[in-house]
């Protein structure tokens, strides 16, 4: 489905913000209501119930709804759960893994890093290399959005369990896209953000924490920060409220999005995204591009061009056709683009995009 913005039509194949469904846009165009009411509290509690259902988190797990970007949620998690006595293992496979490293350094949390090189998959050998060390936390972005690598949750969960460490997962671009089981994989923190898997506007970052982590760390942790104090959020959410003004409109979008998934059927919803992702990956065999060897999320496909034309393809798609894909920074900026399959995208959209990319590549290369 196309989205009208002013006097032109925009199509997003981006991993966040995504192409939003008409039903979400209809919510977005309504008057934002006053929120210190029983009615708004009921909406938030209803959303929380569905969110936990889809991630298989017990209702007793504590929820925090931050009005912040995903990075705010990452930092708040480190501030509320960790301290200078910890030893954290961080999986760094790209931009967002590096962000966890940066936050640990900023907050002076002792840490060891598993650094993945370009195109390298996370495997058991990486954990064997740090086997002799003790850890209190294991942190990973389950889908490293900058590369689209989807890590093996069983590897992470097994290692954390062996070390009796808490497992912290940034699932921002994987939850509601790939299968995710918080309780089944002994995950202690799940970090989300509205503009990716939830496929709504930016502004809200939910965090769900296990009973174990809450009782052993968060409950009696009095951080020197007003806005990011988890205990204040947990206390207020017993009545479906937040301690500070939330992004009210985005909260209403979230409730609508979760109910749309419930109406479609969660497994049907995931299967639809899977089919769109597989269809795109099959179609690009017609293009002069390749895919990485590691496992990738259904959220996004990273395509590597044979020639250094990625930036040119991105620019022409944007400027000439009002089609947006994700560019890639750093050493890959001239070679790699990322195409998302979430939000309001279909197999028909895949056909259109691939045909347009053929024309753009011919315009650039002459063939």
**pLDDT over threshold 70, residue 7:** no
Binding annotation for substrate: 338
* DSSP per position, 52-119: HHHHT--TTSEEEEESS-HHHHHHHHHHHH--TT--EEEEESSHHHHHHHHHHHHTT--EEEEEPPTT
Task: Give bridge partners of residue 50 from the DSSP assignment.
Answer: none
Q: What is the mean pLDDT of the chain?
A: 95
Binding annotation: 338
Q: What distance in Å separates the CA atoms of residue 298 and residue 280, rounded to the nearest whole number?
A: 11
pLDDT for position 331: 86
User: Tens digit of pLDDT for each residue in 107-159?
Assistant: 999 999 999 998 999 999 999 999 999 999 999 999 999 999 999 999 999 99
66 sits in the region (left: phi over 0; alpha: psi -120 to 50; else beta) called beta
**38 to each of 41, 43, 127, 241, how far by Cα in Å?**
5, 9, 48, 9
> CA-based Rg of the chain, rounded to a whole angstrom?
21
Task: Give bridge partners of residue 218 from the DSSP assignment.
Answer: none
Contact between residue 69 and residue 43 where contact means Cβ atoms under 8 Å apart: no
Q: Residue 5: which pLDDT band, with cuts at 50, 70 and 90?
A: very low
Distance linking the first and last C-alpha atoms of the chain: 30
- Provide, rounded to the nearest whole percent, the portion of the chain with pLDDT above 70: 98
Q: What are the structure tokens assigned to 170, written together? A: 């940034």
301 phi, psi to nearest 5 deg: -115, 120
Query: Domains, the chain, ranges and CATH?
Result: 11-19+265-365 (3.90.1150.10), 31-262 (3.40.640.10)
Task: Give bridge partners of residue 325 from the DSSP assignment.
Answer: 13
User: Tens digit of pLDDT for each residue in 261-306?
Assistant: 999 999 999 999 999 999 999 999 999 999 999 999 999 999 999 9
């Amino acid at each position: 489905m196309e989205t009208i913005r002013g006097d032109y039509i925009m199509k997003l194949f981006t991993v966040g913000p995504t192409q939003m469904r008409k039903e979400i846009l209809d919510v977005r165009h309504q008057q934002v209501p006053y929120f210190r009411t029983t009615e708004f509290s009921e909406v938030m509690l209803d959303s929380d119930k569905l969110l936990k259902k889809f991630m298989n988190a017990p209702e007793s797990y504590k929820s925090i709804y931050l009005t912040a970007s995903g990075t705010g949620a990452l930092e708040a998690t480190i501030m509320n759960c960790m301290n200078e006595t910890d030893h954290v293992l961080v999986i760094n496979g790209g931009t967002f893994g590096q962000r966890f490293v940066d936050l640990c350094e900023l907050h002076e949390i002792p840490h060891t890093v598993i650094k993945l090189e370009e195109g390298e998959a996370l495997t058991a050998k990486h954990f064997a290399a740090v086997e002799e060390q003790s850890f209190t936390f294991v942190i990973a972005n389950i889908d490293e959005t900058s590369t689209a690598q989807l890590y093996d949750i069983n590897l992470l969960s097994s290692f954390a369990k062996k070390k009796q460490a808490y497992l912290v997962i940034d699932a921002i671009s994987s939850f509601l896209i790939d299968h995710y089981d918080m309780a089944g994989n002994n995950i202690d923190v799940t970090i989300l953000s509205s503009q990716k898997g939830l496929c709504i506007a930016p502004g809200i970052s939910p965090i769900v924490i296990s009973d174990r982590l809450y009782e052993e760390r968060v409950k009696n942790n009095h951080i020197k920060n007003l806005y990011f104090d988890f205990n204040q959020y947990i206390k207020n959410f017993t009545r479906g409220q937040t301690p500070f003004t939330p992004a009210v409109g985005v909260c209403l979008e979230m409730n609508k999005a979760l109910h749309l998934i419930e109406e479609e059927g969660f497994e049907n919803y995931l299967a639809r995204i899977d089919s769109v992702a597989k269809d795109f990956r099959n179609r690009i065999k017609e293009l002069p591009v390749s895919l990485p060897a590691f496992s990738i999320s259904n959220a996004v496909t990273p395509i590597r061009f044979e020639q250094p034309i990625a930036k040119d393809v991105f620019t022409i798609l944007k400027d000439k056709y009002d089609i947006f894909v994700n560019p890639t920074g750093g050493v890959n900026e001239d070679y790699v683009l990322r195409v998302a399959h979430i939000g309001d995208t279909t197999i028909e959209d895949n056909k259109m995009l691939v045909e347009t990319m053929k024309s753009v590549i011919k315009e650039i290369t002459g063939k």
